[in-house]
């Protein structure tokens, strides 16, 4: 005599599927709102490198950055917002700004961006030796 094996149902319920799709949708919308700000940040990092190489005085660096910003569709900062530090004959260019992204109603996301052309000193962002 063969035994009857009870097989339970498997799969995702309709409510489970709706919840998963809602979460995936929210993550996709967030990504579509944050993506352009990250692209702009990367364009700014590139532009300050080009501006540093093109200028030998603070005024030339700012003017060069403004030209790069116009070509690269950079709207968050301008040449006057750059912090220039001159050490000897080398000019280090740095920047910092906030980007506020409205989400829903009163909720918004604030991103802090910063960057510099200064070389990172040895030992920064390294794990301690064990």
- Distance separating alpha carbons of residues 104 and 123, to the nearest angstrom: 42
Q: Is residue 69 part of a domain?
A: yes
Q: pLDDT digit string (tens) for 57-77?
A: 899 999 999 999 999 899 999
Tokens of 36: 């352009």
Question: Tokens 């961006």 belong to which residue?
Answer: 113
Q: Is residue 8 part of a domain?
A: no
Question: What's residue 9's pLDDT?
Answer: 72
Note down the domain range covering 63.
Answer: 16-116
Tally the domains of the chain. Answer: 1
Q: Is residue 93 part of a domain?
A: yes
Q: For the residues of 1-31, what is the DSSP string, one character each?
A: -PPPPP----S--HHHHHHHHHHHHHHHHHH
- Distance separating alpha carbons of residues 100 and 116, to the nearest angstrom: 21
Q: Is residue 94 part of a domain?
A: yes
Residue 55's φ and ψ, nearest 5 degrees, are: -115, 150
Centroid of chain to Cα 32:
12
Q: Is residue 51 part of a domain?
A: yes
Q: Is residue 32 part of a domain?
A: yes
Q: Is residue 3 part of a domain?
A: no
- Distance separating alpha carbons of residues 14 and 26, to the nearest angstrom: 18
Q: pLDDT digit string (tens) for 11-33?
A: 888 999 999 999 999 999 999 99
3-state secondary structure of 95: strand
Q: Is residue 4 part of a domain?
A: no
- Distance separating alpha carbons of residues 75 and 69, to the nearest angstrom: 7
Question: What's residue 121's pLDDT?
Answer: 64
């Amino acid at each position: 005599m063969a035994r009857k094996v009870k097989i339970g149902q498997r799969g995702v319920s309709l409510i489970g599927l709706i919840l998963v799709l809602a979460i995936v949708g929210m993550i996709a919308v967030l990504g579509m709102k944050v993506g352009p700000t990250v692209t702009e940040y990367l364009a700014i990092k590139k532009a300050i490198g080009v501006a540093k190489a093109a200028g030998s005085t603070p005024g030339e660096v700012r003017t060069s950055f403004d030209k790069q910003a116009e070509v690269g569709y950079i709207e968050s900062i301008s040449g006057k917002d750059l912090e220039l530090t001159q050490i000897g004959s080398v000019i280090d260019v740095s920047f910092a700004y906030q980007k506020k992204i409205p989400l829903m109603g009163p909720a918004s996301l604030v991103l802090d961006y910063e960057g510099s052309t200064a070389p990172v000193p040895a030992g920064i962002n390294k794990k301690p030796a064990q």
